[in-house]
Structure 1
Amino acid sequence: MSFVNKLLASVGIGSAKVDTVLYRDQLIPGEPVEGVVRIKGGHVEQTIDSIYLQLFTTYERKSNDSTITSHAELGSYPLTRPFTLKPDEAKEVPFSFTLPLDTPLTLGKTRVWVQTGLDIKNAVDPSDRDYIAISPTPLVSAFLNAVQSLGFQLHYANCEQASGMFRNRLPFVQEFEFVPVNGVNRQRLDELEVVFLPQADGIKVIMEIDRRSRGLSGFLAEAMDMDETKISLFVTDRDIPNLPQMIQSCISRFS
């Protein structure tokens, strides 16, 4: 390669381009993410140190008195070893990786995407972003449906910075906030918050029951956050037929 071409490559002029094609862009956690990465050489020969995929999502965290939207990496997947890409050369690299079980659902402001990059020595790193719609697993879907069958309506869902009992491998959890709109729970609760922590053989569910305040004592309890109770339960696919009864039993005990 001539000195001029090396210089062009080093500043990214005429560099390689990358485009990822996903075979499916609507998935549930645990399913394979499959597709192909297409690379097109630029005007000069370049050494590609690696092609890699990263899975990202967004979450909100507090900083002083402000709310900041941050990115969290859910997984990283290297695809190739170093190779040389000639001018105008086209390559395709097929891939497949498993969508992590703790991938959040794409509800509200939450977004999930695959980001593709090329590591090119001394050059601009071209990248490509492809969004995925994430739907709930059958067990999570059954739990959400069971909550709604008890007279609750989903009011809010968001990924927020995790702490304490919620902390896992990721810096956030996805919270689902329900409000009672009919039935016996409308008189008992202000809201019900649900967090799912997926396990290999089921799901640990954290529920925060926010009781409706009654009278002066209830007002004082609410002011001191004493009207909130956190409980956890572990559910599997075998529990799906009994989920409404299980959830209502927990609510009745603490409301």
Structure 2
Amino acid sequence: MSFFKKVLSSVGIGAAKIDAVLENNEAAPGDELTGVIKVVGGSVAQEINKIDLDVVCNYTVEVEMEDDKVVTEVREYTLSRFVLDEKFTIEPGEQKQFPFVLELAEDAPITVGHSKTWLETNLDIDMALDKSDKDYLYVVPNALQQAVIDALQALGFTLYESDCEGIDSVSFSNLPFVQELEFKTTCGKFHGHFDEVELVFFNRGEQLEAIFEIDRKARGFVGFFKEAMDLDESKARLVINEGDLAHLEGMISDLLEQHLG
């Protein structure tokens, strides 16, 4: 019977279980994640080689196939990792807890639209399939990011879509993707002037770099041909810190006014 149980546990039946429990499942980029990893023994004693705790997010990338068709693939990227690299034995029904402290990467994407971020805990067991647990994490904007979003909303913009899109390796980003936040105007002085404004954040320690891609609303035939040729988009860059918060709305308004047609 004991041998039969070991065979079953090696394929996941009656094996040890793992769960990562966060003190708070809501965090901003750069915040510290704290919690405990809980391991519960299965039906037989098992030796645990190590525990990996990864913070993972998803992004999409367009891939050209052999028949020239372009398909969208969903990929995963590990933002941060915590490793408990010590062997131990978990007895049947035994419960063990291991505290962890892990920093959420400052370039972690905000949880909005299709963007998801989660904790993936892997239990490395001798002579068995790795057991894993997946717990979703809600990434909220940090103070500077939220201030930019609030300022755009005060100027009549509404966030309507967001996606993490794959990019080629570039010097300005440590990630294989960028998160684009897309805003539409619903009211205010910019309503009717822009089709949309796309925003990309790059956290730079105490500063935030915000890249705006401004799509002017086409007017007449000239505007129509510019839009058709994709020439009506322009980019602007704004670097802000805590000292800019009091007049941030005015800074963004001035930046957008420079791109009015």
**RMSD after superposition:** 2.0
1:50 alignment counterpart? 50
Secondary structure at the residue paired with 1:103? coil
> Does residue 189 of structure 1 match 2:194?
yes
Amino acid at match of 2:162: A
Structure 1 residue 26 corresponds to structure 2 residue 31: no
Instruction: Quote how far apart the aligned CAs of 1:110 are.
Output: 1.8
Tell me the equivalent position of 2:146: 141
Give the distance between the partners of 1:166 and 1:154, measured in 2 at CA. 28
Amino acid at match of 1:79: L
Quote the residue 2:256 is aligned against.
251
Q: How many residues align?
A: 254
Corresponding residue number in structure 1 for 2:219: 214
| 2:192 aligned counterpart, secondary structure | helix
1:236 aligns with 2:241: yes
Aligned partner of 2:83 in structure 1 is 78
Kindly provide the amino acid, as one letter, of the partner of residue 234 in structure 1. V
SS class of match (1:233): strand
State the distance in 1 between where 2:171 and 2:177 align. 8
Q: Greater CA deviation, 203-212 or 176-185?
A: 176-185
Length-normalised TM-score, structure 2: 0.89
Maintained 8 Å contact 2:5/2:14: no
* CA distance 1:214–1:8, change in 2 (3 Å): closer
1:132 aligns with 2:137: yes
Mapping 1:53-68, distance limit 5 Å: 53-64=53-64, 65-68=70-73
Distance in 1, matches of 2:11 and 2:188, equals: 65
Q: Is the 8 A contact 2:154 2:249 kept in 1?
A: yes
Shift, 1:87, TM fit:
2.9
**Structure 2 portions without partners, runs of 5+:** 65-69
CA contact (8 A) 2:210 2:238 kept: yes
The residue type equivalent to 1:86 in the other structure is E
Seen in structure 2, the aligned counterparts of structure 1 residues 144 and 90 have a Cα distance that, compared at 3 Å, is: same
Q: Could you say what secondary structure the match of 1:104 adopts? A: coil
Measure, in 1, the Cα distance between the counterparts of 2:96 and 2:139.
29
Trace 1:80-99 onto structure 2 (pairs within 5 A).
80-99=85-104
TM-score normalised by L of structure 1: 0.91
Alignment match, 2:67: none
Per the alignment, residue 179 of structure 1 pairs with 184
Percent identity over the alignment is 39
Q: In the aligned structure 1, how far is the partner of 2:75 from the partner of 2:84? A: 26
- 1:25-50 deviation per Cα after TM superposition (whole angstroms, max 9, x unaligned): 12222222111111122222222110
Which sections of structure 1, spanning at least 5 residues, go unmatched?
none
Q: Which residue of 2 aligns with 1:36?
A: 36
Q: CA deviation at 1:18?
A: 0.9
User: Residues 245 and 92 of structure 1: is their aligned pair in 2 closer, same or farther, counting only changes over 3 Å?
Assistant: same
